[in-house]
Structure 1
Amino acid sequence: MAPSRDASTRQALAFVRVALAVLLFIHGVARVLADGVTPFGAFLDSRGFPWGLGIAWFVTVFELVAAPVFAWGRWVAPIALVFSAIYACGIWLVHAPAGWFVVGLGRNGAEYSVLILACLLANAWAHRPRASVLD
């Protein structure tokens, strides 16, 4: 017997959520392994952000801690919204100035980050708190 439409939808959304979590976690791991937190902080400082290194560590630790929780399906909406803010800033600061395309017609553009942002916002929407109806 085929799974119900609701079960298929939940499974598909869970698949996207776990895939996102893996990508976001790897992003943090790569930054730590490449000793990229301090340069990330210096980049933020150069853009006028106060406490650039603190922000860089927050983003990195958030990627490492929140991504597994997100994959697990806990606190999905708030985690997705924080990741959305982080990735929107990444688009604004890094990717949009490089153009749209990641490869091919451009390099390091915004298209991949926009897709991540759309998937994060879809997950936040799907897991938003809903007001209960009193009977």
Structure 2
Amino acid sequence: MPIPFQKQLSTALISDANGGIAIVRIGVALIILMHPLHGYFHLENIPRFGEYLSGLGYPMGGLLAWLVLLIQTLSSVGLLLNRYVLPACMGHMVIISFGLVHVHAQYGWYVVGPGQGGMEWGFILLTALSAVMWAYWPRTAPAK
């Protein structure tokens, strides 16, 4: 006799955690990949980004702007191909964290609604990347 759907929901076990984390990994990679792709299609914006970074006090802002695009591209490709997942997550997390501090924090928490341009979306991305890292973190087998 089949179990009623409501009972199934309340007693559900993890059926495919690997599949679930793969959806998060691929989704985050595609979302972040849009940033460097936009940069490559609008090359006139990269020097402005470099000037912005220099204005924040970072040396070699233009080179740093290109480095950000390269890290975002390579990290997203790594996540999409399921290769070098830990360094890819770390690369994205560093860039997102700097973006939160230098751009989004001044607008508060909300991206839309009670505020605009805030930290909410970056925090969601950091949380998702942390979950992917947790799933891929090397573990040792328990001692027997």
SS of equivalent to 1:94: helix
Corresponding residue for residue 71 of structure 2: 62
Q: Which has the larger radius of gyration?
A: 2
Q: Which moved more, 1:89-98 or 1:61-70?
A: 61-70
**What is the CA-CA distance between 1:31 and the residue it aligns to?**
2.0
Identity of aligned residues (%): 28
Cα–Cα, structure 1 residues 116 and 98, in superposed 2: closer, same or farther, change >3 Å?
same
Unaligned runs of 5+ in 1: none
* Contact 2:75–2:91, Cα closer than 8 Å, also in 1: no
Deviations along 1:40-72, one digit per CA (max 9) or x if unpaired, are 111110000111111111110122222122111
Pick 1 or 2: higher relative contact order, CA cutoff 8 A, min separation 6. 1
Query: In structure 2, how many angstroms separate the alpha carbons of the residues matched to 1:83 and 1:47?
Result: 20
Q: Report the aligned-residue RMSD.
A: 1.6
Query: In structure 1, how many angstroms separate the alpha carbons of the residues matched to 2:134 and 2:62?
Result: 31
Structure 1 residue ranges, 4+ long, deviating more than 6 angstroms after superposition: none
Q: Which moved more, 1:82-91 or 1:34-43?
A: 34-43
Question: What TM-score do you get using the length of structure 2 for normalisation?
Answer: 0.83
Corresponding residue for residue 20 of structure 1: 28
Query: In structure 1, how many angstroms separate the alpha carbons of the residues matched to 2:14 and 2:138?
Result: 18
Corresponding residue for residue 6 of structure 2: none
Unaligned runs of 5+ in 2: 1-12
